[in-house]
């Protein structure tokens, strides 16, 4: 008895089979693969097949079995696809609500600051977060024993084989390092701002964090004056905090600027009358600034007889805290949606 022509007939049938619905398909599957189905029945007859036909019989029956399985899978898949299509063409269903994301408050503030400075010709430049002592300290005129280089402030990346920190590779502690990178690569006139992330080895609390963001500004040309610095920052403060804002400058010290100043703005919460945010002074400190120290120009290959410049640096977290009245720095880094969703109206 030769069963092969019969198996071939079934193979053709399987090839041609089409299922109208899942029930159809299930019946087809049971008819072939069910316990008493066509395929198991053939396997039972294997014993009676004469030895010289066993090999060919085996191959045919396996081919049939595999074919049925493949056919069932393909048809199942295409029935499902068909069903979903059907689902989407039901025009009476309500639409899926589209929830737009929101920008992070630090991005909103950074973008706004960039846009204000770009209106008066400042470009944006960036530098690496992993830096070296030269760019973060030496070429910014930090004396070798300056406390800012201290291990308590700076995260050093590499250690010597004996476990001692090596002081030449570190996480930048301020974006002033980008000033050095820009001066290395560009000739004056230079007019740029540099937003970026900075790192300091501080215990995390509502008022301090080991990661924060700054925006650095640098303007170098012939005849740049302190009056221009003041006017630039006055323009920025009014554009950002509102037209009623006043500024005042207090003398300060930074190694890379001479003279140096800190700038305060009118407290926007009380309009200068005094409240608990401004500690009843009417003023809020927002940035450090000054005329680029001639040493810094010279260290970076710029002729300090010919060129002068001004620089300033501000903390983005601080400015965002004032704008949105956020009282805990940790909120910026926790990615809590209840916090982030409150900024979806800004962009």
Write out the residues near ligand DAH by the rule CB under 6 A.
174, 176, 216, 254, 257, 288-290, 311-313
**Cα–Cα distance between 318 and 73 in angstroms, integer?**
60
**Cα–Cα distance between 239 and 236 in angstroms, integer?**
5
Minimum gap (Å) between residue 99 Cβ and ligand DAH? 38
- Spatial CA neighbour of 140 closest among 322, 339, 298: 298
Closer Cβ to ligand DAH, 29 or 191, answer by number: 191
Place of tokens 């970076």: 300
- Spatial CA neighbour of 109 closest among 334, 302, 325: 325
H/E element, 38 = helix 38-44
Closer Cβ to ligand DAH, 39 or 289, answer by number: 289
Closer Cβ to ligand DAH, 155 or 343, answer by number: 155
Place of tokens 């010279």: 298
Closer Cβ to ligand DAH, 42 or 212, answer by number: 212
Minimum gap (Å) between residue 292 Cβ and ligand DAH? 8
Minimum gap (Å) between residue 204 Cβ and ligand DAH? 18
Minimum gap (Å) between residue 131 Cβ and ligand DAH? 13
CB-closest chain residue to ligand DAH: 313
Closer Cβ to ligand DAH, 122 or 312, answer by number: 312
H/E element, 55 = helix 51-88
- Quick check: 225 and 308 in contact, CB under 8 A? yes
Minimum gap (Å) between residue 282 Cβ and ligand DAH? 23
Tokens of 149: 């280089």
Give the number of other Cβ atoms within 10 Å of residue 271's Cβ: 13
């Amino acid at each position: 008895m030769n069963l092969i022509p019969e198996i071939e007939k079934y193979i053709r049938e399987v090839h041609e089979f089409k299922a109208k619905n899942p029930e159809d398909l299930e019946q087809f599957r049971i008819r072939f693969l069910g316990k008493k189905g066509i395929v198991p029945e053939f396997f039972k007859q294997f014993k009676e097949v004469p030895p010289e036909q066993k090999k060919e019989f085996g191959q045919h029956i396996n081919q049939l079995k595999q074919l049925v399985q493949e056919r069932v899978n393909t048809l199942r898949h295409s029935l499902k696809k068909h069903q979903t299509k059907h689902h989407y063409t039901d025009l009476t269903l309500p639409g899926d609500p589209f929830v737009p994301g929101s920008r992070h408050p630090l991005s909103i503030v950074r973008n706004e600051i960039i846009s204000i400075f770009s209106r008066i010709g400042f470009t944006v430049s960036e530098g690496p977060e992993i830096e070296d002592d030269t760019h973060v300290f030496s070429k910014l005129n930090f004396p070798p024993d300056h406390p800012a280089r201290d291990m308590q402030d700076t995260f050093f990346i590499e250690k010597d084989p004996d476990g001692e920190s090596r002081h030449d590779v570190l996480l930048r502690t301020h974006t002033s390092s980008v000033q050095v990178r820009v001066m290395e690569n560009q000739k004056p006139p230079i007019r740029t701002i540099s937003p970026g992330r900075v790192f300091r080895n501080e215990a995390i609390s509502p008022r301090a964090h080991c990661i924060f963001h700054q925006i650095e500004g640098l303007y170098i040309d012939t005849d740049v004056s302190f009056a221009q610095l003041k006017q630039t920052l006055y323009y920025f403060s009014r554009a950002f905090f509102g037209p009623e804002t006043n500024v005042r400058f207090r003398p300060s010290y930074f190694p890379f600027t001479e003279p140096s100043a800190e700038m305060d703005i009118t407290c926007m919460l009380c309009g200068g009358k005094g409240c608990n945010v401004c500690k009843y002074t009417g003023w809020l400190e927002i940035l450090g600034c000054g005329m680029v120290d001639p040493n810094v120009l010279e260290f970076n290959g710029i002729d300090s007889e010919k060129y002068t410049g001004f620089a300033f640096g501000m903390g983005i977290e601080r400015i965002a805290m004032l704008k949105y009245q956020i009282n805990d720095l940790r909120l910026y880094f926790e990615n809590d949606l209840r916090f982030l969703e409150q900024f979806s109206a800004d962009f």
